Structures are given as C-alpha cells and as structure tokens.
Amino acid sequence: MEMDDHKRRRNMILYVLIAFALYLVLSQVLFPRLTTTQEITEVPYSTMLSDLDADKVDKMDYTAGTDNVALYTLKGDKEGTAYQTTVLPNSEDYLAQKIDESSAEVSVIIPSNDSGMWLYLLITLAPIIIFFLIGWWLNRKMKKAMGDDNPSMDFSSGFGGFGGGGGLGKSGARIVASKDVGVTFKDVAGQEEAKESLKEVVDFLEKPERYEAIGAKLPRGVLLVGPPGTGKTLIAKAVAGEAGVPFFSISGSEFVEMFVGRGAAKVRDLFKQAKEKAPCIVFIDEIDTIGKKRDGGGFSGNDEREQTLNQLLTEMDGFDNKKGIVVIAATNRPDSLDPALLRPGRFDRRVPMELPDLAGRKAILEIHAKDVKTQPPIDLTAIARATPGASGADLANIINEGALRAVRMGRSRATQEDFEESVEVVIAGQQRKSTVLSDHEKQVVAYHEIGHAIVAASQKEGAPVTKITIVPRTSGALGYTMQVEQDEKFLTTKQEVLDKLAVYCGGRAAEELIFGEMTTGAANDIEQATKLARNMITRFGMSEEFGMMALGTVQNAYLNQDTSLTCAPGTAERVDDAVQKVIFDAHARALQILRENKFKLHELARYLYKKETITGEEFMTLMKRENPYMPKPQQQ
C-alpha cells in the first residue's frame, strides 16, 4: 500500500517535531545547569561573606579548581535570583569555616582532567545521535509504506533515510495485482482494431513458448496514441486483466523531481520491481512529459528530464524480454517524442486509439448504460448519431448526466429525453435560466437561428435540422441550431463544404436582412467559417488558384489541430484573399436564400420566439407548409 505525498510530508514533519521535543526533554534532564533560566547576578566576594555571616544563604554550589566559582541562592527569595562570585586565592579554609558556621546546603564540584572533554562530546553528539535514530526509524516506516519486505537500515540510500530523501529514489508506481485489475477486453468498446493488435501481446504473455519455438520476439513496448478520452489507460489495464499479470501504473510527470538524477533513479527502481514481478505490464501515462525530443542547445545535458529519458532508453533496451515485461505508454502528442524512443527495440508497436465511429459510439453507450436504471424505450443509436466526434469519456459523461438529470427531476429511472438533453449539456452546457434577454435581443436571436436553419434546409445534401432553441446556455451561447447526419460520413465534397459555409453565414445574413445591423452573436459562426475556409485552401486543395498545393501543416493532430502556414509571406497574403473571397461568396449565397424565403423567415422566427425551443419536425412542417399569401404560379 502506497503512502500518498501529503501523508508522507505530514508524517515527516511530525517525526522531526517529536525528535526536537525529545532532544529538549533530554537536555533538561541530563544537563539542567546548561539549560537553566535562572537569573545570575555577579557580586563581590565580601558580599557573599556578609550573607554567610547573616545566615541568609540557602544553597551553594562551589566549584573547586582554577576558577574557584561559588554560586548561591538566598533564603526566602521568591524571585529565585542566583548570586555568583569568585573566591579569593588561598581563602578556601576561611570560606569552609564560614560555611560550617552557617546553615547553608553546600555541594562541592571537583572537576577531573577529562570531565570537560567528555561533557563536551556528550553535549555535541547527543543531538546527532537522537536525529540519527529518528531518521533510521523514519526510513523503516517509509520502506514499509513503499512495500519493502526487509526494512533494514540502508546506508546506500543516504544517512539514515535523510540523505536518500526519505524514499525519493522509489518509483512510486501503483502496483495492481493480477487478480485485482478487474478490467478485460469486454469492458472496452469502440476500439476493435486496437484490441486486435493488443491481443497478440496478451497471447504472448499467456503462451510465450509458441512464439519462442518459431523464433519470434515479444514487442518490448507498445505506444498508444490518440485524442484525450479514447480509453488508452483503460485498454492498457484490459491487457493486464486478459493476461492475468500484475499491472504497474505511473504517470510521466511523477518521474520529474526537484533533485537532478531522482527521475533516473525512479526509472531504475520501476524496472527493478517489474523484473521481480515478471511477467507483467508497465504502463506509463503521458510519456511525452519525459520523452520529448532532445536538443543540443543550452545546458540540456544536465536537464533532469533528459537524464530521465536517457535512463528510460537504457532500461528498455537492456532488460531481458524473455521474462515477459511489456511497457505500454500513452500520449496524445506523438509528434513531440524523441526518435530514439520510437525506434524498433523500444516501442516496437504503435497502436492508434482514434475517436469512435457510429457503431463504436453505440457500443460504448451500451456499456455505460448497463449501470444506469432506464425507462424503455431507449434508443442509443439516436444518441450515438447526435454525437459525432465524441470520445469514450464524453459518452460516459453523457450517460451520467442523463442519470443526474433524472434524479433532479425526481424520477427513479432515466428516460430517452434525459439522455438527449444530456447531449446538449455536454455540447453547449446547462440551461442558463438566470440570463434574461430583452424582447429585441430575443427576436434577434430567433431570426439568427432560423436563418441558420432555413439555409441548412435549402441544401440538397445537408444534414437535417433536429432542434432549434433560443434558451441561453452556460457555454455562452444564446441559442443554437442542431443538425445531425443520418449516416456517418468520412469524406466531404467541395460542394458540401461550401454548403456548410453558407449555413455558418446564415445567422449573420438574417440579422442584416431583417434588422439592417450586425451583432456580436455571430462570433462563433465567423470563427468556424474562417477555419473551414482556410482548411479548404491550405489543406484540402479546393482552390482554383493554388490547386493541390499544401500550404500548411497540422500541429498537435490529436489535440487542437492548429494549422501553421508553411509558405512565403506573399503567398500567405494571397491565401488570406482567397479565404476572404470564399466566405464572401458563402455570405452572399446565404443572403440570397433568405431573401427568397423571407416570409418563412418571419413566420418561423415568430414561432420560435413564442416556444423558445422547437424540434426539427416542427420546423420542417412549417417550412413545407404552403403559404396562402404567396401568389400561385400561373399555369400555361
């Protein structure tokens, strides 16, 4: 069982305080005169003789020798003041006579030649010995906490545990026994290709002799790459669960320490433990933290991360793989990893964990819906169709949000409506009931959303409108129009891209057509339209001027997919002109569509203004309904 960092720091502080308190108590008991707080006043020798004659002296400590110092207190002195004087030479006999005549209690201290040295050594070494014992005890405690079965004193890790940082060289990996992993491939959905690739690793861990007979070698490392939330950690656990072997889990950031060299020590300790537990799975999450490309500039040779990476490279290339140690690493930034880490012999196999398709999303939803009490009928296919681009974590959150909504509504079972509303919660946020729009603003938002919907409905191959709302959301949206594809598409034609651009421009076009003014409500539409138009020119080759010329590169493909231009400044200006023209043409097309359907725009906007939320069926019914006020075409 691993002691967390907070508890470890708290215990260390407690142990140091105990040691300090123990030192103070021992110093008070062993050396009371050295720690006295009594006030000492220097007096002449004659004053002490007068006090002895008057029988005022209560107790006296007389130190014989070269110093001949007398320290005494007076009877009845509540303040406890001590008086100190130096006895005159050759007057010891006279002083002894005066003391005998008085009733004072006297103790005579006669120091030996070696007593001063021994006292000095005792005073000096006692605190060191005390702290050494406390450090040794602390080291034993931490070794027990880290799972060491032989917590004897280890001088190689530092002086009694303090020099070793109290276990800083330990890897800190979370070790899960084979029987406690609790995850198998049946718990992973939507990643069939990844499971097929990893089943070979499982088979090798279970029956290594089959592969050794033919001369095949087990991959030393498997690198899982993909967007966040696609189940990289889950499938690594599933490999360990299927093979029935122990599972070591650690994050890349846990190798990075304040002290240079500690990360490398943790890597050594991790693989040492793995060799003892082999066959096993070692999972390193977010390996890009320590596996970034090395550069030759500056003082990078002494960098802690680089030393950690070098140790990892050495360990992966050095261990005997016949024992069955498989290192699985996960990252969503494979482009930033060092080439030496990716070569065969280290991470031999690269397994992509992409966003799930329609069938994968449905399978993921079914797995998570098993744990939720539902009220039939439940159509998870509709939820899967409404969530293109959602990761496994997003889909799990959608199911959970649906269950939470059912509880908020006072029901014991979740319904289809709960899950459909949770899709909107995950995409656009909760309904923001505290935001109250004025009548004019509400009208503008209604016309804006209907503008999107009418332009979308006018496209032949466009996705049908499923919902329109002008209820503000916590994401900042004052309304939105939802379109859902009937079938999943993997290719998009140039005409479909232009149609989508026109839909983005439909909201602003409706505002200009009806109110003759612009608002800030189209900010997100403009951002999406500009990004799509720029991809048309720079990535998709859908430009007559540039043709099939790549003008940009995608960075962080699994994260934000930012595109950076890789062209001359003059070409970049022409790209901007081409993007502007594409968006201008789409805006003009949207305006033309809305002019032709102006009556429907008014009618649908009023209807949406009253109901605030309408379904796609209601929209299409009103859209297709014949207008009695429009003149019928003349029959010839």
At 592, which CATH number?
A: 1.20.58.760
| Beta-strand relationship, 69-74 and 82-86 | antiparallel
Residues 196 and 100 in one domain: no
Residues 228 and 270 in one domain: yes
Domain-embedded: residue 35: no
The pLDDT score that the predictor gives to residue 147 is 46
Contact 554, 562 (CB under 8 A): yes
* Residue 560 or residue 470, greater confidence: 470
Which tens digit of pLDDT belongs to each residue from 440-484?
999 999 999 999 999 999 988 778 888 899 988 877 788 888 888
How many whole angstroms separate alpha carbon 226 and alpha carbon 7?
35
At position 268, the amino acid (one-letter code) is: R
Dihedral through CA 140, CA 145, CA 148, CA 150, nearest 10?
A: 30
Nearest to 265 by CA among 238, 291, 304: 304
Which of 352, 377, 396 is where one domain is finished?
Answer: 352
Both 92 and 130 in one domain: the answer is: no
User: Could you tell me if 223 and 352 are in contact, meaning their C-beta atoms sit under 8 angstroms apart?
Assistant: no
Residue 631 covered by a domain = no
Side-chain half-sphere exposure of 449, counting CA atoms within 13 A: 32
Q: 71 versus 453: which is more confidently predicted? A: 453
pLDDT of res. 160 = 36
Q: For 158-196, give the secondary structure using H, E and C.
A: CCCCCCCCCCCCCCCCEEECHHHCCCCHHHCCCCHHHHH
Residue 234 in this model has a pLDDT that exceeds 80: yes
| Amino acid occupying residue 303 | D
Q: Token pair 């039939």 is at which residue?
A: 376
* pLDDT beyond 90 at 587: yes
Tell me the range of 229-233, 294-298, 551-555 where mean pLDDT is highest.
229-233
Domain identity same for 13 and 141: yes
Q: Are residues 458 and 586 in the same domain?
A: yes
CA distances from residue 407 to 270, 383, 404, 421, 609 in whole angstroms, order as listed = 45, 20, 5, 14, 30
Q: What is the pLDDT of residue 499?
A: 93
pLDDT tens-place string over residues 79-90: 667 777 777 766
Question: Domain check: are 101 and 122 in the same one?
Answer: no
158 Rama sector, left if φ>0, alpha if ψ -120 to 50, beta otherwise: left
Q: 539-551 b/e with 16+ CB inside 10 Å = b? A: eeebbeebeeeeb
Closest CA to 250 of 308, 194, 296: 308
Closest CA to 316 of 307, 308, 327, 306: 327
Residue indicated by tokens 């494979």: 334
Could you tell me if residue 162 is inside a domain?
Answer: no
* pLDDT category of residue 180 using cuts at 50, 70 and 90: low
In a shared domain, residues 304 and 205: yes
DSSP strand E in 97-173: where? 105-109
Kindly tell me if the per-residue pLDDT of 363 is higher than 80: yes
Final residue belonging to a domain, choices 333, 352, 371: 352
Active-site pick, 254, 424, 449, 511: 449
The pLDDT score that the predictor gives to residue 593 is: 93
Is 630 part of any domain?
no
Which amino acid appears at position 2 of this protein? Answer: E
Q: Report pLDDT for 447.
A: 94
Q: Which amino acid, residue 122?
A: L
- Poorest-confidence range of 258-262, 268-272, 581-585? 258-262
Q: Please report, in angstroms and rounded to a whole number, the separation of the first and last CA atoms in the chain.
A: 90
Give yes or no for residue 129 having a pLDDT over 80: no
- What is the model's pLDDT at position 108? 67
pLDDT at 149: 45
Strand ranges for 207-279 from DSSP E: 221-225, 247-251
Name the nearest CA neighbour of 285 among 237, 250, 315, 234. 250
pLDDT reading at 43 higher than 60: yes
449 is catalytic: yes
- What pLDDT does residue 163 have? 40
18-39 residue pLDDT tens: 767 766 666 655 555 444 445 6
Q: Does position 142 have pLDDT exceeding 70, yes or no?
A: no
Same-domain check for residues 418 and 454? no
Q: Which of 359, 411, 414, 415 is nearest to 387 (CA)?
A: 359
Q: Is 169 a domain residue?
A: no
Average pLDDT of the chain? Answer: 79
DSSP 300: G
Pairwise CA distance, residues 498 & 361, whole Å: 28
Percent of the chain whose predicted confidence (pLDDT) is above 90 = 20
Sign of the Cα torsion 572, 577, 578, 579 reads positive
| CA 194 – CA 238 distance, rounded (Å) | 11
What range defines the domain where residue 539 resides? 439-624
Residue 318 sits in a domain whose CATH number is 3.40.50.300
Residue 432, in any domain of the structure:
no
Q: What is the pLDDT of residue 288?
A: 87
Q: Which residue blocks in 409-519 are alpha helix, DSSP H? A: 416-428, 439-457, 494-515
Segment among 153-157, 317-321, 451-455 with least mean pLDDT: 153-157
pLDDT confidence of 152, banded at 50, 70, 90? very low
Distance, in Å, from the CA atom of 71 to the CA atom of 60, rounded to the nearest integer, reads: 6
Are 572 and 449 within one domain?
Answer: yes
In this prediction, residue 209 carries a pLDDT of 80
Tokens (6 digits) for 238 = 């599933």
The CA distance from 466 to 420, in Å, is 11
Q: What is the CATH number of the domain that holds 52?
A: 3.30.720.210
Question: Do 325 and 273 meet the contact criterion of CB atoms below 8 Å apart?
Answer: no
**Residues 288, 410 within the same domain:** no
Residue 246 contacts by C-beta under 8 Å, 6 or more apart in sequence? 175, 176, 177, 178, 240, 277, 280, 281
Which of the four pLDDT bands, split at 50, 70 and 90, describes residue 225? Answer: very high
Same domain, 231 and 267: yes
77 within a domain of the structure (yes/no): yes
> Is the confidence at residue 545, as pLDDT, over 70?
yes
Q: How many domains is the chain partitioned into structurally?
A: 5
DSSP per-residue letters across 416-439: HHHHHHHHHHHHH-SB-TT----H
Q: Quick one: which of 118, 99, 119, 106 has its CA closest to 62?
A: 106
For 591, list phi and psi in degrees, rounded to 5.
Answer: -60, -40
Q: Count each helix (H run) and each strand (E run) in the chain, helices first.
A: 20, 16
CB 339 within 8 A of CB 291: no
Is residue 273, in this structure, part of any structural domain at all? Answer: yes
C-beta neighbour count of 26 within 10 angstroms:
13
- At 23 the pLDDT is 66
Indicate whether 504 pLDDT > 80. Answer: yes
Model pLDDT, residue 66: 54
The answer to whether the beta carbons of residues 255 and 289 sit under 8 Å apart is yes
Which one has a higher pLDDT value, 393 or 127?
393
Res 165 pLDDT > 80: no
Q: Which residue has the higher pLDDT, 357 or 558?
A: 357
Q: Domain boundary at 427, 450, 482, which?
A: 427
Does 446 share its domain with 485? yes
| The Cα angle at residue 452 between residues 451 and 455, in degrees rounded to 5 | 85
CB 198 within 8 A of CB 350: no
